[in-house]
Amino acid sequence: MNQIMKDAYGISPQTIALLRRAEEDLAEPFRRFEAMAEVNQAKVLAAFHEETISERHLTGTTGYGYDDAGRDALDRIYASVFGAEAALVRQQIVSGTHALAACFFGILRPGDTVVFATDTPYDTLEEVVGLRGEAGSGSLADWGVNSKVVPLLSDGSPDYDAIKAALDPSVKMVAMQRSKGYAWRKSLSICDLKELIGFIKGIAPHVICMVDNCYGEFVEELEPTAVGADLMAGSLIKNPGGGLAPTGGYIAGRRDLVELAAARLTSPGIGGEVGATLGVNRLFFQGLFLAPHTVMQSLKSAALAARVFELAGYDVCPTADSLRTDIIQAIRLGSAEKVCAFCQGIQKGSPIDSQVCPEPWDMPGYESPVIMAAGTFVSGASIEISADAPIREPFAVYLQGGLTYESAKVALLCALDKVLAQ
C-alpha cells in the first residue's frame, strides 16, 4: 500500500507510518465492533426469515402502489429489528429531516408544546420547528405549536432538573437526539436514552418520547424504540440503507404514532397504504441486509481517524477507545484552513468526484457556511466516507461513513497528509 499511496497520491512515508501506528492500537475496539455486527446481522436475518422474504418481495409496484408485498414486509422487518410496533420505510421520505418533520407535523396540534431535551435540535430542524427562519414559512411555530429547548449540561449530559421543570401540561412530546450532530459533545448512548425516557415517563407518562436516531442504527445492540422511545426516525442514506439505498427514510415506533406520521407524509385516509416502490425494494432489502456490516466498517474507519489524530496531537470526540453510539467522529482541527484541507483530502481519496475541490457554501437549512466532502455513489450519502464542517468555532470537522474500511483508509491518508502539510 505504501508505494501506491506514494505514487498515486504523493502521501509521505511519515503519514503512512503514523496511520500504521494508529492501527496497531485498535485491536480491542475492532473486536467490539465485529461482535456488535454479528448480533445485529443475526437479528436482521431472523427478521428476513420470519417474513420468508422471496423473489416476489424484491420487485416493485407502480401508480398508487397498493398491495406492495415487498414494501409491507420491509415495514414489518424494520419494526421487528428495531424493537418497535410498526414502521414506515419509504423512498417518498426524501431525507432524515423529512422523516422527523412528518413525525412532528403528524402528531403535534396547535397549542401543544414540544420540548427538545438534548439542546437545540440538528441544524435542519431549526427551521422545521421555527427556532430560525422567517415567520410564515410553515414551521411548527406558524401552526401554533410551541417549543422549548433545554440545553445540555457542560459535560454533555441531559439536565434532568431543567427537563422536569419544562414538563408543563401543554407538553405533548419530548424530542431527543442520539447523535451529536454538528456539536462538540458526546452522543447519547442507548443506556443514556433509556434512563432519560424512564425519567420523563415517571413524571409525565403520556408524553410522547421521540428520538432523532440519525447515524445511530446498528451501532449498539438495541435501538431507542426497544428501550422505551415511542417514536424514532432516520435516513436511509445513512446507516440502515447499508450504502445501497439510493434515497429514503424511515419512521418506527408505536403503531398509532407511525400512522399519524404516515397521514402527514401522504394524506389522512391514505397513510402508509400507498406509495409505489418502483424498482427500489431490492436495494432497500439488500441494503438493510448489509447495514450491520457496513456500519461496522464505518465504526472501524471512525476509530482509525480518532486514533491517528490523537497521535498527531488533536482533540477528538469520541476518543479512539470509547464505546460508540453513532458513526460520527469529530476532530477539532482549530482553524478554517485545516478544516478545508481535511475535507479536500477526504474528497481526493473518494471513489467519485475525486477531482472536485470542496469549498464552504451557504447550504439551505444550515446556519453557518458548511464545507462538505462527499465523493459518493449515492449523492450526499453519509454512510459512505464523507466529512462536513460548519465554518465556526471550534473548527471541528465531522467525519462519518466508509463503505469499506480499506477505502476509508485511503481517504483518511489523503486528509491526514493535507492537514499535516498545513
Ligand X SMILES: *Cc1c(COP(=O)(O)O)cnc(C)c1O
Residues at the interface with ligand X (CB under 6 A): 95-97, 122, 124, 177, 179, 181, 212, 214-215, 235
**Residue 280 C-beta: closest distance to ligand X, Å:** 17
The nearer residue to ligand X, 123 or 417, going by C-beta atoms, is 123
The nearer residue to ligand X, 119 or 212, going by C-beta atoms, is 212
**Residue 179 C-beta: closest distance to ligand X, Å:** 4
The nearer residue to ligand X, 69 or 291, going by C-beta atoms, is 291
**Residue 308 C-beta: closest distance to ligand X, Å:** 23
Show the cell assigned to 161. 432538573
**Phi, psi (rounded to 5 degrees) for 315:** -80, 135
**Residue 362 C-beta: closest distance to ligand X, Å:** 16
The nearer residue to ligand X, 113 or 386, going by C-beta atoms, is 386
**Residue 212 C-beta: closest distance to ligand X, Å:** 5
**Residue 219 C-beta: closest distance to ligand X, Å:** 13
The nearer residue to ligand X, 235 or 329, going by C-beta atoms, is 235
**Residue 7 C-beta: closest distance to ligand X, Å:** 36
Other CB atoms within 10 Å distance of the CB of residue 54? 10
The nearer residue to ligand X, 380 or 394, going by C-beta atoms, is 380
Q: Name the residue whose CB lies closest to ligand X.
A: 96
Rounded distance, CA 173 to CA 112, Å? Answer: 8
**Residue 197 C-beta: closest distance to ligand X, Å:** 17
**Residue 407 C-beta: closest distance to ligand X, Å:** 21
Strand partners, 330: 317, 398
What's the burial of 228, exposed, middle or buried (CB within 10 Å: 0-12/13-18/19+)? Answer: middle
Taking a C-beta distance cutoff of 8 angstroms, is the pair 399, 416 a contact?
no
**Phi, psi (rounded to 5 degrees) for 3:** -65, -45
The nearer residue to ligand X, 181 or 375, going by C-beta atoms, is 181
The nearer residue to ligand X, 26 or 214, going by C-beta atoms, is 214
The nearer residue to ligand X, 80 or 95, going by C-beta atoms, is 95
**Residue 31 C-beta: closest distance to ligand X, Å:** 27
The nearer residue to ligand X, 96 or 275, going by C-beta atoms, is 96
Which amino acid, residue 128?
V
